[in-house]
Structure 1
Amino acid sequence: MRQEILDTREVCLAFARSDRSRFERSNRELRARGQVILMGTGASLNACKVSQYAFMKEAGILPHVMPASDVSLLENVADRDTLVILVSQSGASYETKVAVEFLKRHGVTVWGITNIGDSPLALQADETFLMNAGEEVSSATKTYAATLLILYAMAAGGSDAFLRRLAELPRAVEETLAVSESKIAAWAEVLGKRDKFYVLGDRAFGVTAQQGALVVKEKTFLHAEGMSLSEFRHGNIEVVEPGLPIVVVAAADSIGESRMHADHLASIGAEVYWIGDREASSERIPSDRSLVLPGLDDTAMSQITTVLPLMMLAENIAAMKGYDVDGFRHISKVVGQY
């Protein structure tokens, strides 16, 4: 898993050097569609949720986001003017196979995003976009970044602004991995001894918090709950008691609100850990619980860097506990059946 996390830089670098004329064409086509749906399961679904923000900002499109398992709900609402972008790292999970077969049977255009070129999704989709992330045996790490890049490129097309942000990404990933190493290892020593903690983020970073918590659960078997800061305030905040660990993830346009929420959570007793591209600016959050990442000043690209420390946290805790960081207890890498 560790190497797969480190490989994220190479995935970003390769994508930045690739031919993106195809994404210019795909951007024009999706803009012409009456309905665009982003669909996936697990980490792929989280990537769809995060990318929804890029579609709204870059393409002026509000795509629907739904789990692949809900595909039958499209029975009476999808038509030939509907475009479904179906995401699956393996391209072979049970939900993915059911979804693509249902969609093709109903005449819906399907674009597949997958890492496996001969998978059922790749073979049946009208158009396939390969992640080209190389083999991945553990939880979704480098394929998660690859998925976001493909979806972002679809949303932005070949805009100059997107290309500039993309060019900065490999450096930011490399620096994020470097500055996170020692501090995340120290956090793992503490958080690995707890039975639960929360991962929270504001706006689009609420989904990044969900993805980070998902990887923590998969690798450490701890109850890590990820959600948006705003949702946490409405009900969930009642679980806060002295010493409850809460990791707050923030960057770009979410910093201001996140700082306010983080300070409030610390004031009522939470043990707050801060991951952001600027300081937490709270006396209640000591420097040893604050991890400052290189700034990208871009909400979309920052999703790729801010999730990395959470993946590293999962790997560190799992290794500390002596778990197989590349294995799973109850699922396989390809969930072919329950």
Structure 2
Amino acid sequence: RVSMENGVFFDDFKLSKQDLDNVDRVFIVACGTAYHAGLMGKTLIERMAKIPVEVDIASEFRYRNPLVTEKSLVIIVSQSGETADTLAALRDCNRIGARTLAITNVVGSTISREANDVIYTMAGPEIAVASTKAYTTQVVVMHLLALYFGRIKGTLEETEEKEIVRALLILPDRIEKLLEEKENIEGIARLLAKEEDLFFLGRGMDYALALEGSLKLKEISYIHCEAYAGGELKHGTIALIEPGTKVIGLFTQGDLKDKMVSNMVEVKARGANIIGLGYHGEELDKSVFDYEIRIPQISDIVAPVLAVVALQLLAYYTAKEKGCDIDKPRNLAKSVTVE
């Protein structure tokens, strides 16, 4: 679906410039991990296509009387294509007359059949309950959609488009290199396995990444953890920071790095132990950061796809250290088919 010569192309999904010019707002509706992919999509589409985007949790979307009209594009995201709340939201939007687009992994699923258009993530069968490769493919599709919309609308500069396309094409190689960090990540996971509470902090796209990293860790290791925008912790929740509290800070967004370091200094001053996730070759102040997770260099706009693999590994090794059933966490189902 992507090449340096042709940019992004879809065989199964087409929008004309007239279609897209008629769209006054995009709604992204999803649950859980797919919702976090939607948050990434908001940033990407607004940046590249200059279209306002709202992201909603499907179970809340129906009941807030959203201002969906015939000029809305509603993107429904679901790994299984059977998620009850998401399906109900899709049907409501179809009745209104909005254009609906499903992003799903399961061919022939209910959501894929009932949406006006569908883009399959083609992640292949994912046996574990906790979503991993389904999430990464959803985020990559969000990148492709944003590039596609930006090209059609003429709002994306060619140099930026080529930079992002190049980064997407080298992602497999960068993920392979990231896997060389697994021993370091496993060592940090052994420390986290002893904790009862953890915090993830990030800004911009790293905030959405923090939400997903936190969800992965809590759902398979059963450790209570929370994710916050970097500047938000001090608005109350910093009261929970005690000496020894582990805080994971994310640093894939270069334009926000200084702000994030400032947030880390505040947390460090309250006695926290800081785990920093950043690029190879970039300095993290040893007086602030106690532990480091490194990812290979890549364009900041694609980096969260790479960085989430490190956070998935962190959750995996933490759960393994605790002896948890990683593939089948307690109380969870792969597809949520009731409201």
Taking structure 1 as the reference length, what is the TM-score of the superposition? 0.89
- Separation of aligned partners in 2, 1:155 and 1:285: 35
Matches within 5 A, 1:197-236: 197-236=198-237
Matches within 5 A, 1:223-302: 223-253=224-254, 254-277=256-279, 278-286=282-290, 289-298=291-300, 300-302=301-303
Asked whether the equivalents of residues 244 and 269 of structure 1 are also in contact (C-alpha less than 8 Å), the reply is yes
Where does residue 92 of structure 1 map in the other structure? 82
Give me the identity figure in percent: 24
Matches within 5 A, 1:121-200: 121-138=111-128, 139-157=130-148, 159-179=161-181, 181-200=182-201
Asked whether the equivalents of residues 279 and 292 of structure 1 are also in contact (C-alpha less than 8 Å), the reply is no
> Alpha-carbon deviations, 1:240-261, whole Å to 9, x = none?
1100110111113232222222
The alpha-carbon distance between structure 1 residues 27 and 45, as it changes in their structure 2 partners (threshold 3 A), is farther
Asked whether the equivalents of residues 206 and 253 of structure 2 are also in contact (C-alpha less than 8 Å), the reply is no
Asked whether the equivalents of residues 250 and 306 of structure 1 are also in contact (C-alpha less than 8 Å), the reply is no
- Separation of aligned partners in 1, 2:174 and 2:207: 21
The alpha-carbon distance between structure 1 residues 20 and 102, as it changes in their structure 2 partners (threshold 3 A), is same
The code of the aligned residue for 1:291 comes to I
Task: Work out whether 1:49 is the aligned partner of 2:49.
Answer: no
> Alpha-carbon deviations, 1:91-131, whole Å to 9, x = none?
10111221122222222211000000111100101000000
Q: 2:9 aligns with which of 21, 24, 32?
A: 21
* Residue 324 of structure 1, CA deviation: 1.3
* Residue 19 of structure 1, CA deviation: 8.5
RMSD: 2.2
Asked whether the equivalents of residues 103 and 119 of structure 2 are also in contact (C-alpha less than 8 Å), the reply is yes
The alpha-carbon distance between structure 1 residues 140 and 26, as it changes in their structure 2 partners (threshold 3 A), is farther
15-24 or 56-65, larger mean C-alpha shift: 15-24
Where does residue 37 of structure 1 map in the other structure? 27
* Residue 310 of structure 1, CA deviation: 1.3
Where does residue 69 of structure 1 map in the other structure? 59
Where does residue 11 of structure 1 map in the other structure? none
The alpha-carbon distance between structure 1 residues 326 and 273, as it changes in their structure 2 partners (threshold 3 A), is same
The alpha-carbon distance between structure 1 residues 198 and 75, as it changes in their structure 2 partners (threshold 3 A), is closer
The alpha-carbon distance between structure 1 residues 27 and 187, as it changes in their structure 2 partners (threshold 3 A), is farther
- Separation of aligned partners in 1, 2:20 and 2:37: 18
Q: How many residues align?
A: 321
Q: 2:92 aligns with which of 102, 118, 121?
A: 102
Structure 2: segments with no counterpart, 5+ residues? 152-160
Where does residue 103 of structure 2 map in the other structure? 113
The alpha-carbon distance between structure 1 residues 227 and 76, as it changes in their structure 2 partners (threshold 3 A), is closer
SS in 2 for 1:77: coil
SS in 1 for 2:293: strand
- Separation of aligned partners in 1, 2:76 and 2:69: 16
* Residue 291 of structure 1, CA deviation: 1.7
SS in 2 for 1:242: coil
23-32 or 211-220, larger mean C-alpha shift: 23-32
